[in-house]
């Protein structure tokens, strides 16, 4: 669509009405991914990352990862000061290659999960979590 100056201003004010913290990205995250995958291509599918759309509080955000048949799943918080969150390595007695936990997110960002499948291939899933400022005094 064509935007006049008035339109752009209006849109910007509308966007400001969303009280979310600015989107964060961390360059070190790419290094972590390369380290885990050895530079291999990552496919999609077979990996579910469940995270809330809006985190009630960034200090404790419940997430779940699930990838049937995976050997390991790595989780990164792409906008945290240090992106590493956890790596779940499944043993022979894991009934499902799935786990739930609670994580800290410094601000609105993408949470990324990468699964290393039994055949050595990699798949990736990503979820944007909005982290909000609440109440008085945050």
Partner 1 sequence: MKVRAMTAIAALLAAPLAAVAGPDSDELVVNGEINMVTQTEAPAHLDGALSELYSGWRFRSDETQALQMDDFDNPAMVFVDQAQEAWDTADGTEGKSCASCHGDAADSMAGVRAVYPKWNEAAGEVRTLEAQVNDCRENRMGAKAWKYDGGDMASMTALISVQSRGLPVNVAIDGPAQATWEMGKEIYYTRYGQLELSCANCHEDNYGNMIRADHLSQGHINGFPTYRLKNAKLNTSHARFKGCVRDTRAETFNPGSPEFVALELYVASRGNGLSVEGPSVRN
Partner 2 sequence: MASGVKPRVKVPKSVAAGEAITIKTLISHAMESGQRKDKEGNVIPRSIINRFTCEFNGQSVIDITMEPAISTNPYFQFDATVPEAGEFVFTWYDDDGSVYNDNKSITIA
**Contact residues for partner 1, defined by CB under 8 A:** 1-4, 6-7, 10-11, 13-15, 17-20, 52, 54-57, 59-62, 132-137
Instruction: Answer for the pair 124, 49: CB distance below 8 angstroms, yes or no.
Output: no
- Residue whose CB is less far from partner 1, 4 or 27: 4
Closest distance to partner 1 from the beta carbon of 37 (Å): 30
Closest distance to partner 1 from the beta carbon of 94 (Å): 19
Query: Which range of residues in 2-10, 13-21, 94-102, 115-123 is near partner 2 by CB under 8 A?
Result: 94-102
Query: Which range of residues in 4-12, 23-31, 80-88, 121-129 is near partner 2 by CB under 8 A?
Result: 80-88
Q: Cα(41)–Cα(43) distance, rounded to whole angstroms?
A: 7
Calculate Rg over the CA atoms of the chain: 18
- Residue whose CB is less far from partner 2, 21 or 99: 99
Instruction: Answer for the pair 114, 74: CB distance below 8 angstroms, yes or no.
Output: yes
Q: According to the binding rule CB under 8 A, does residue 29 interact with partner 2? A: no
Structure tokens at 71: 């050997």
User: Which residues, including other chains, have CB under 8 Å from residue 120's CB and lie 6 or more apart?
Assistant: none
Instruction: Answer for the pair 76, 65: CB distance below 8 angstroms, yes or no.
Output: no
Q: Cα(98)–Cα(88) distance, rounded to whole angstroms?
A: 8
Query: By rule CB under 8 A, what count of residues binds partner 2?
Result: 29
Residues that bind partner 2 (CB under 8 A): 59-61, 77, 80-96, 98-105
């Amino acid at each position: 669509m064509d935007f006049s100056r008035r339109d752009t201003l209006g849109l910007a004010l509308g966007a400001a009405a969303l009280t979310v913290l600015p989107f964060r990205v961390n360059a070190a995250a790419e290094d972590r991914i390369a380290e885990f995958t050895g530079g291999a291509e990552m496919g999609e599918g077979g990996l579910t990352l469940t995270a809330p759309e809006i985190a009630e509080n960034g200090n404790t955000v419940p997430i779940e990862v699930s990838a049937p048949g995976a050997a390991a799943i790595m989780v990164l918080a792409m906008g945290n000061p240090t992106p590493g969150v956890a790596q779940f390595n499944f043993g022979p007695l894991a009934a499902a290659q799935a786990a739930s936990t609670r994580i800290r997110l410094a601000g609105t960002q993408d949470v990324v999960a990468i699964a290393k499948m039994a055949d050595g291939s990699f798949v990736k899933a990503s979820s944007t979590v909005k982290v909000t400022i609440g109440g008085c005094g945050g």
